[in-house]
Amino acid sequence: MLKGTSLILSTSRLRLRKPVADDRNWIFALNHDPLWLRFIGNRGVHTLKDANRYIDNALVHFENHGYGLFAVEDKLTGKPLGMCGLINRGIFSAPDLGFALLPQARGQGIGGEAGEAVISYARDTLGVNYLTAMTHADNTDSQKLLMNLGFKKRGNLFMSGVFAQHFFWLDLKTRQR
């Protein structure tokens, strides 16, 4: 479905698109942000070459699953703001909403706006009925964002090699907005 396209989602302020090689510098910076490292963890992006590999893996995810993590940018300036999209974690029966913003993009409603665009895409284009999400137990800002998007906390998730996560679930069939 997405092969060879540059799928773009759009909101009033944002453009969400597949990542490209030119994103490597800000993806490197995002992967080294203290909040990323604390709440998401080291993803092996230690050089710009690693950032290119991260982008390549994101594009393969789109190819394999029909969805993935979008680069989020300011529609007017084209400046990068972070990432938001759907991930197939292989342990859930539904896609998982993931997001991370660069420090300068936080606290401006960008996560909510990008999250809404991805949720609408999942429901209206992909025909997804449910989404999952998970956050580090101490990541209260992300937990608030998920609840504002309509996710309900369903407990904790324990996975090998990962700190205990708060687990959230969203039923797109009954979601009211």
Delimit the domains of the chain by residue range.
Answer: 8-171
Q: Do the beta carbons of residue 71 and residue 23 sit within 8 Å?
A: yes
The model's pTM: 0.90
Q: Once rounded to an integer, what is the mean pLDDT over residues 99-106?
A: 97
156: three-class secondary structure by DSSP? strand
Question: Which residue is listed with tokens 């680069």?
Answer: 71
In tens, the pLDDT along 23-54 reads 999 999 999 999 999 888 889 999 999 999 99
Confidence (pLDDT) at 167: 82
Pairing between β-strand 8-10 and β-strand 130-136 as defined by DSSP bridges: unpaired
Confidence (pLDDT) at 168: 83
Q: For residue 110, which of 78, 145, 140 has the smallest C-alpha distance?
A: 145
Confidence (pLDDT) at 26: 98
Cα–Cα distance, 131 to 51 (Å, whole number): 27
Q: Do the beta carbons of residue 91 and residue 134 sit within 8 Å?
A: no
Residue 163: band (very low, low, confident or very high) from pLDDT cuts 50, 70, 90: low
Cα–Cα distance, 54 to 78 (Å, whole number): 21
CATH 3.40.50.150 fits 8-171, yes or no: no
In tens, the pLDDT along 49-84 reads 999 999 999 999 999 999 999 999 999 999 999 999
pLDDT top residue among 91 and 116? 116
